[in-house]
C-alpha cells in the first residue's frame, strides 16, 4: 500500500469513526483530529516470513498531532499494520482524539489487511469505550482532555 493510499484510508476511517461515535455520545465532535497510536497490540508468535515485526514498538504509545504524522509512523517500507482499530477516545479544545490500536504485523499484502473487504484496508471502525452502566440507546459524555 502506498503512503497516499494509506493516508486517504486514514482520513476516511477517521471521519467514519467520528460519525459512528456521534450515535453514542453527547457532544458534537470537532472536525480536527489528533491521534493516540498504540503500537503492537497483537500476538505475533505465528507471524509468517512475509510479515515484518518491530519489537522496539512493544509498549509504545505515540500522540500524533496530524494525519501526516500517523502516516509517517505507520507506513514503513511500503507496509502498514494488518489491522488498526480506530475509534473516538476523547475530546479536546477544538479537536477530537482518535485512538488507533495497531497490529504488530506489518504487511504490503492488501489481502492480509483485516478490513480490506469493507474498503478501509487495515482500518476497523470501533465505538468509543462504553461506560460500565451503559444502557442501549442512551448517550454518554466522553473524556475531555
Q: What is the mean pLDDT of residues 68-75?
A: 98
Q: In this structure, is residue 145 part of a structural domain?
A: no
Q: What is the mean pLDDT of residues 90-95?
A: 96
What letter does residue 6 receive in the DSSP assignment?
A: H
% of the chain residues with pLDDT over 90: 97
Q: In this structure, is residue 135 part of a structural domain?
A: no
Distance CA 102, CA 79 (A): 13
Q: In this structure, is residue 141 part of a structural domain?
A: no
Exposed, middle or buried: residue 7 (CB in 10 Å: 0-12, 13-18, 19+)? middle
pLDDT at position 20 is: 97
Q: In this structure, is residue 54 part of a structural domain?
A: yes
Cβ 19 vs Cβ 11: under 8 Å: no
pLDDT confidence band for 67 (50 / 70 / 90): very high
Q: What is the mean pLDDT of residues 114-140?
A: 95
pLDDT over 90 (residue 7): yes
Distance CA 91, CA 44 (A): 32
What letter does residue 65 receive in the DSSP assignment?
A: S
Q: What is the mean pLDDT of residues 99-104?
A: 98
Q: In this structure, is residue 77 part of a structural domain?
A: yes
Distance CA 100, CA 33 (A): 12
Model confidence pTM above 0.75: yes
Q: In this structure, is residue 134 part of a structural domain?
A: no
Q: What is the mean pLDDT of residues 113-133?
A: 95
Q: What is the mean pLDDT of residues 66-80?
A: 97
Q: For 37-94, where are the alpha helices, taking DSSP H only?
A: 67-74
Cβ 101 vs Cβ 38: under 8 Å: yes
Q: How many domains does the chain have?
A: 1
Q: What's the chain's average pLDDT?
A: 96
Domain residues for the domain of 73 are 3-125
Amino acid at each position: 500500500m502506498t503512503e497516499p493510499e494509506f493516508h486517504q484510508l486514514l482520513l476516511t476511517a477517521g471521519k467514519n469513526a467520528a460519525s459512528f461515535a456521534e450515535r453514542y455520545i453527547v457532544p458534537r465532535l470537532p472536525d480536527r483530529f489528533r491521534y493516540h497510536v498504540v503500537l503492537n497490540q497483537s500476538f505475533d508468535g505465528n507471524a509468517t516470513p512475509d510479515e515484518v515485526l518491530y519489537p522496539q514498538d512493544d509498549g509504545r504509545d505515540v500522540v500524533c498531532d496530524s494525519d501526516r504524522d500517523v502516516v509517517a509512523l505507520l507506513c514503513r517500507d511500503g507496509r502498514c499494520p494488518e489491522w488498526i482499530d480506530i475509534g473516538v477516545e476523547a475530546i479536546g479544545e477544538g479537536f477530537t482524539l482518535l485512538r488507533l490500536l495497531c497490529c504488530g504485523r506489518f504487511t504490503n499484502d492488501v489481502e492480509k489487511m483485516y478490513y480490506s473487504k469493507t474498503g478501509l484496508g487495515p482500518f476497523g471502525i470501533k465505538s468509543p469505550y462504553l461506560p460500565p452502566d451503559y444502557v442501549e440507546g442512551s448517550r454518554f459524555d466522553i473524556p475531555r482532555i
